[in-house]
Amino acid sequence: MINQVFFFYFSAVIVATSVMAITRRSVMHGVLYMLLLFFHIAGLYLFLNAEFISAVQIIVYAGAIMVLFLFVIMLLNLRDDIKKRQFIATWPMGLLVSSGILMIILMAMLTIKTGTQGQWGIAQIERLTHTVAIGTVMYTQYLFPFEVASLVLLVAIIGAMVLAKKRIK
Amino acid sequence: MVPCNWYMWLSAIVFCIGMFGFITRRNIIIMLLSIEIMFNGVNISLVALSHYLEDLAGQVLVFFIIAVAAAEAAIGLALVILLFRNKETITVDDLNELKG
């Protein structure tokens, strides 16, 4: 019972803040609603026994990505852009398309068949602690994708610096 | 106990809200924010399935998705700065130079 009350609270806030984030005229307000959204998603992860992912969500999304967005918004002078029309002229068509795809996904979920249970049950994760368990999987089974992810981050660092630096003639 | 389906519905709803934002807003920063919302919708579904199927592969995948989202945000915002420096606007409908 208490589980469901918490789930309804978190899902209501997640849906409400994501709608608010994409409909606000001011970009700054949108980013602050996104911050609230990320904290509630982290709460939902805690609820699913994923402590490490929850901490990464707060540190990386709320701490790094949103601060990056805030810095860029403060760097740009958006006074003229805010006065313009914010939605495209045919936005009802966008609403139709996205709600149609939502219907398709929900219909597909009615016929979903889940696979076999894995070996990382709640008792084993509790015995090892969650971070050790996820590290064991990540550094053995998924070592190569981990290295590729580090390469992607390196490319992003160099690319962002090369793109955003001032051209010196 | 909360059934797994509820998490999947929530994930689908959040994904579609993000998609609506991406295809209807004209502000390029809000479009990037919508992409982050879509990533988060997928992440909810992956963590929920990982918990209910007792397999940690889903959470490792979420970790990689967060890394890719960080890279994407850095590159995207660098492009936004470059765009604003050249055109003085970030409204995508005003960036129609290739339009004949």
pLDDT 10s digits, A19-78 = 999 999 889 999 999 999 999 999 999 989 899 999 999 999 999 999 999 999 998 888
Smallest Cα distance from A88 to chain B, Å:
5
Check CB contact under 8 Å for B60 and A85. no
Smallest Cα distance from A132 to chain B, Å:
11
Of A22, A120, A124, which to mutate for an interface test with B (greatest number of B Cβ within 10 Å)? A22
**Which pLDDT belongs to residue B90?**
86
Domains observed in chain A: 1-86 (1.20.120.1200), 122-169 (no CATH)
Check CB contact under 8 Å for B32 and A69. yes
- C-alpha A77/C-alpha B73 separation (Å) is 19
Q: Answer yes or no: is pLDDT of B100 > 60.
A: no
HSE, side-chain direction, 13 A CA sphere, residue B88: 2
User: Which of B71, B4, B6 is CA-nearest to residue B35?
Assistant: B71
Q: To the nearest 10°, the Cα dihedral for B21, B25, B28, B30?
A: -50
DSSP summary character for residue A63: I
ipTM score over 0.85, yes or no: yes
Q: Answer yes or no: is pLDDT of B99 > 70.
A: no
**Which pLDDT belongs to residue B86?**
84
**Which pLDDT belongs to residue A164?**
82
pLDDT in tens, A85-138: 888 888 999 999 999 999 999 999 888 888 888 888 888 888 888 899 999 999
DSSP summary character for residue A94: H
- In the stretch 39-78 of chain B, residues with CB closer than 8 A to chain A read 40, 43-44, 47-57, 59-60, 62-64, 66-75, 77-78
Check CB contact under 8 Å for B15 and A60. no
Parse chain B into domains and list their residue ranges: 4-90
Check CB contact under 8 Å for B8 and A142. no
The mean pLDDT value for B27-42 works out to 94
Amino acid making up residue A51:
E
CATH of B4-90, one of 3.60.10.10, 3.30.1330.60, 1.10.287.3510, 3.10.450.200: 1.10.287.3510
**Which pLDDT belongs to residue A65?**
92
